[in-house]
Amino acid sequence: MGWLGFGAAQLAAIGAIALLAFVVRGVSGFGSSMVGIGGLSLLLPPQQVVPAFLALELLTTAHLLPGVWRQIDWRSLRWVIGGCLLATPLGLTLLAGLDAGTMRLGVSLCLLVIAALMLSGLAQRWAPRQTPGPLGALAVGAVSGALNGAVGISGPPAIVFYFATTAAATSRATLIAYFLFTDVWALALAGGAGLLKSAALPLIVAALPWSLAGIWLGSRLYLRLDEAQLRRLVWWLLAALGAAGVANALRG
């Protein structure tokens, strides 16, 4: 084995996946876990990948929070977080009996449909003109938490909720804060379950430089995009993630 127990091909793949994942996170405020964990799990055991990637997200994106603090929609975010906290244990209890592959396929298909509707402009006829109130935010958080508890996918409800109803800069800032919260909580749960083992440390060390480079590059690319470009990029990204999820689910 080479450096840190990884071969040359593995190190190259780890670097490429980490770079891409955090370019996506830097531009949009989300997507790094869907890209990074999905990609790295094809190479390494998920028990090694998941806690390592949660740690990488905290190490690379926490510094973004001060710069977007004033743009965060705290009024809705507190309700989304509350719904997520309440519903995650419920998701573990009620939905754990369902087939995880079927659930992921359903979520991925929903992403594809939503992205297609938004890109075509059809969804603009039904989308509210502003972010819904506390009950709407609480419901989004509950769906997010239930999906997180059942199949480990918390992002799509919150992403659609904000980017469909809120200014793109506010959506990005609020999602950065939301996913930092979910990362901290998931990392605490992983630590309590004994998943933060020494196996994750070499992966963190190998991926961290590329992750930092990706978040820097993504943040610079974000500054070059206007409102319409960023919003369209987000829907194309969701379409790509949905298509990848469908392909993975069908492959079994």
Dihedral sign (CA 215, 216, 217, 218): positive
Torsion of CA 221, 37, 65, 20, to 10 degrees: -10
Q: What is the pLDDT of residue 18?
A: 94
pTM of the complete model: 0.78
Token readout for 105 is: 């396929």
Q: What is the pLDDT of residue 210?
A: 96
Q: What is the pLDDT of residue 126?
A: 53
Q: What is the pLDDT of residue 54?
A: 82
- Other beta carbons within 10 angstroms of residue 194's beta carbon come to 7
For the chain, how many structural domains are there in total? 1
DSSP 73: -
Buried b (16+ CB within 10 A) or exposed e, 25-64: bbbbbbbbbbbbbbbbbeebeeebbbbbbbbbbeebbeeb
Q: Tokens 């997520």 appear where?
A: 84
The alpha carbons of the chain give a radius of gyration, in whole angstroms, of 17
On whether the CB atoms of residues 111 and 239 are closer than 8 A, the answer is: yes
Q: Where are the beta strands (DSSP E) in the chain?
A: none
Domain that holds residue 117: 3-251
In DSSP notation, 201-246 reads HHHHHHHHHHHHHHHHHHHHHHHT--HHHHHHHHHHHHHHHHHHHH
What is the residue-level pLDDT of the chain in tens, covering all 252 positions?
567 788 888 999 999 999 999 998 899 888 787 788 778 877 888 778 878 888 898 888 888 888 899 999 999 999 999 998 888 777 666 555 666 667 677 777 877 877 787 777 765 565 556 666 888 899 988 888 887 766 566 777 888 888 877 888 898 999 999 988 888 887 777 676 666 666 688 899 999 999 999 999 999 999 998 878 888 888 888 788 888 878 877 876
- Distances from the Cα of 98 to the Cα of 35, 111, 151, 153, angstroms: 24, 20, 9, 14
Q: What is the pLDDT of residue 92?
A: 61
Alpha carbons 44 and 78: distance in angstroms, whole number: 35
Three-state DSSP class for residue 82: helix
Q: What is the pLDDT of residue 206?
A: 92
Helices (H) and strands (E) in the chain, counts: 11, 0
